[in-house]
Amino acid sequence: GENVEQHPSTLSVQEGDSAVIKCTYSDSASNYFPWYKQELGKRPQLIIDIRSNVGEKKDQRIAVTLNKTAKHFSLHITETQPEDSAVYFCAASLAGGTSYGKLTFGQGTILTVHP
């Protein structure tokens, strides 16, 4: 089945700096790559996603890039703010058959933004 590796496990930045989190996936059939943010004690919530027919997607300070050949995708947060502090999860979804839509998550990255 699909395996998603996420790095780094922890990331500490100063307010205003950029943060980059990277993920690799194993199954070339995966075609949907969402990123979730989980604040302490709360549920994961989608912040951005990308599909395999797109190389890059931006939403204000957040961007995601996808390299299908290398099977990796990254989350970029610019001008970080203290409220960006949270755990971020990448995920990959398989396409085809009964595995369609089954999300496999990475291990998570704890992002801390220092004021």
Partner 1 sequence: NAGVTQTPKFRILKIGQSMTLQCTQDMNHNYMYWYRQDPGMGLKLIYYSVGAGITDKGEVPNGYNVSRSTTEDFPLRLELAAPSQTSVYFCASSYLQMNTEAFFGQGTRLTVV
Interface pick for partner 1 out of 7, 42, 58, 114 (rule CB under 8 A): 42
User: Which helix (H) or strand (E) element contains residue 84?
Assistant: none
Name the amino acid, one letter, at 24.
T
- Binding part of the chain for partner 1, among 15-23, 65-73, 75-83, 94-102 by CB under 8 A, reads 94-102
Q: Binding of partner 1 at residue 89 (CB under 8 A)?
A: yes
Q: Binding of partner 1 at residue 74 (CB under 8 A)?
A: no
Q: Binding of partner 1 at residue 93 (CB under 8 A)?
A: yes
Distance of CA 91 to the CA centre of its chain: 7
Q: Binding of partner 1 at residue 7 (CB under 8 A)?
A: no
**Residues 61, 72 contacting (CB under 8 angstroms):** no
Nearer to partner 1, 6 or 74 (CB): 6
Question: Which sign does the torsion angle of CA 54, 82, 18, 91 carry?
Answer: negative
Q: Binding of partner 1 at residue 95 (CB under 8 A)?
A: yes
How far, in Å, CA of 115 to CA of 34, rounded?
28
Tell me the site size for partner 1, rule CB under 8 A.
Answer: 25
List phi, psi (to 5°) of 31: -135, 10
Nearer to partner 1, 20 or 103 (CB): 103
